[in-house]
Chain A
Amino acid sequence: MIKVNDLHKTFKAKTGLVRAVDGVSFEAPDGRITGLLGPNGAGKTTTLRMLYTLMRPEQGTVHVDGLDAVREAAAVRRSLGVLPDARGVYKRLTARENITYFGRLHGLDADTIASRTDRLVAALGMEDFIDRQSEGFSQGQRTKTAIARALVHDPKNVILDEPTNGLDVMTTRGLRDFLLTLKSQGRCVILSSHIMQEVGLLCDHIVIIAKGKVTAQGSADTLRRLSGEENLEDAFVRLIGSEEGLAA
């Protein structure tokens, strides 16, 4: 369960202050998939970085299972599984070693790591590359390794930044099923995407972000009703206010 209340974050740029996140609030309950949808540069990644405590909000609060993300950052990180925008898989380690390393950093013992790895390998379909060095992995193999690595400590809450970015159709479908499994296990799943169909298919709750602000949120049906458009794509475009940066 993740509660986000009125987040603000600004960056200094050459042209002056940029309001990357400007008052974002939403709630992501357990057993649901919550999607952040918005064009490139809308502030999705910055919002997620504040959720997984890598950035400090200038204003507003994040609560993960009731814990404050600023004051109890270590405890929050323990209950989170994070797939950052940058996957950062170690090239010279095998997929298994990558997963094991993160398991150890989470303080797990070798047996637990081994059994969890086996389960994740089966669920994500990583059998044929699990013991290969990840140098030369395809985008899909890298993403799967990073996801397995993020979930090795069996977190209650899962945050995925653009999980299907750069994946082919088959891998995307497999990943979609995997996310639905996470949901059915009662986890709180938050993902960001700029692909409306994907969010529409997967998410129970959709938060539309544009220029750092939440322009609308609700289920796919609610959003259709709000915008007065029958077609989901038209609804998104209307709610964001422009067609800029949205991929069909």
Chain B
Amino acid sequence: MSIIFTVMRKELLDLFRDRRTVMLGLFMGPLLFPALILGIGAMAESRAKTQLESTLELPVINAERAANLVAYLTTRDIEVIDPPEDPQQAIRDQVYEVILSIPEDYAERWRASRPALVEVLYDSSRQDSRIPVSRVESALRSYSREVATMRLMLRGVDPSLGEALVPGRRDVSTPEARRGMALAFLPYLLILSAFLGGAYLVIDVTAGERERQSLEPLLATPSSREAIMSGKIAAACAFGMLSLLLILLSFKLSFQFAGSGPFRGVDVSFVAMLKLLAILAPMVLIGTTLLTLIAASVKSVKEAQSYMSVLMLLPIIPTIVLLISPVKNQLWMFAVPFLAQNQAILMVLRAESISVLEWMVYVGAGFGLGLLLWLVAARLYHREKLAISA
């Protein structure tokens, strides 16, 4: 036990002497992540606001054929302007998001009280056109309904006969949960930070020491290799938890000061932060032991680092799977690494309670996997090749 502590202390001392690495490791995340999240949130919100509330400029082809419709659009804060030379190209070139075209037979059909066709030109592959298109379509729909109602009334028919059903919507999500939706990518950032936050330290204390040839004298001491390895893992875990703590604090502060916006009301109480820290603790252990295992099995730091690009993708898998086929929260999920963290973090942020059974499965599976990886890594630490670098 005292060996583990001795090794841990030495590794942390060694690390903290390397000021710049520590600064980057500890403060990059806390500074960058909130800026990223809040910045993207604010951008999305202001974009939506301008698109929804500003006057929409709508080029209309042959506007003179539908003077009444044009007049109606103006009342919906849509300004009709002259169409460009080549409307299709203008949309592909992103000059306009949406263009309305009135066909030749519009007036004729209108007078005959037959459905008159109008064309909405847009590019469905452009995210940007979503709001303008829906504004134009909704204006056209309500114009159509108004005119239709008047026509029926003129003919002495009750307009409500034309509508057999009126679907009413009632959103029963809690305000916290709705805000939680905006945070779908927060778990990824947190899991990634927990999983690989101390990666360079872990790789350095095993593969790096081997490369610097200081592992040979270290392993020639009577201390058991398990104890030496555990000390190194403990140091990396301590550093990982510290950096997570700073990241969570930075989230807490920035969400609190963010005021309005999609993140207002996200549960950032100290209890929630503690829960997040507890949720991420097994992830820190899994990441550290997995990287120790890798670092002990490879020939060089470079080789160990090549695994990083693959490892960085692991935490995003559950997020993507859930995006493609959303499933209900089930108990087994709390036993699957990454998926479990993803679900648990979302539950905390949505201010839902995690049951005791779910906690038990979660903690058991997380630390169980950590222990398994530790055992494999310890076996690798006994390999003859590990100590011999030259």
Contacts and interface: CB of A to CB of B under 8 A. Distances in A.
Contacts of B18: 92
Contacts of A90: 10, 14, 214
15 contacts: A54-B388, A56-B384, A77-B221, A88-B209, A88-B213, A88-B217, A90-B10, A92-B18, A101-B10, A105-B7, A105-B218, A105-B223, A105-B228, A107-B2, A107-B3
Interface string B301-316: 0000000000000000
A77 B14 contact: no
Interface in B179-223: 209, 212-223
Contacts, number: 85
Interface stretch (A26-34, A79-87, A201-209, A235-243): A79-87
A53 interface: yes
Contacts of A247: none
A88 B220 CA distance: 12
B390 interface: yes
B123 to A, nearest CB: 57
Contact of A77 (B13, B212, B222): B222
Please classify how large the interface on chain B is, using the bins under 10, 10 to 19, 20 to 34, 35 or more. Answer: 20 to 34
Interface string B351-390: 0000000000000000000000000000000001001111
B96 to A, nearest CB: 61
Contact of A84 (B10, B216, B222): B216
A105 B14 contact: no
A49 B228 CA distance: 19
Contact of B214 (A89, A97, A106): A89
A90 B213 CA distance: 10
B155 interface: no
B190 to A, nearest CB: 30
A48 to B, nearest CB: 10
Interface residues of A, number: 34
A226 interface: no
Given A49-B388, A86-B217, 13 more contacts: A54-B387, A80-B220, A84-B213, A88-B218, A90-B10, A92-B13, A92-B17, A92-B18, A101-B6, A105-B223, A106-B223, A146-B217, A149-B217
B224 interface: yes
B220 to A, nearest CB: 5
B220 A82 contact: yes
B217 A84 contact: yes
A90 B205 CA distance: 11
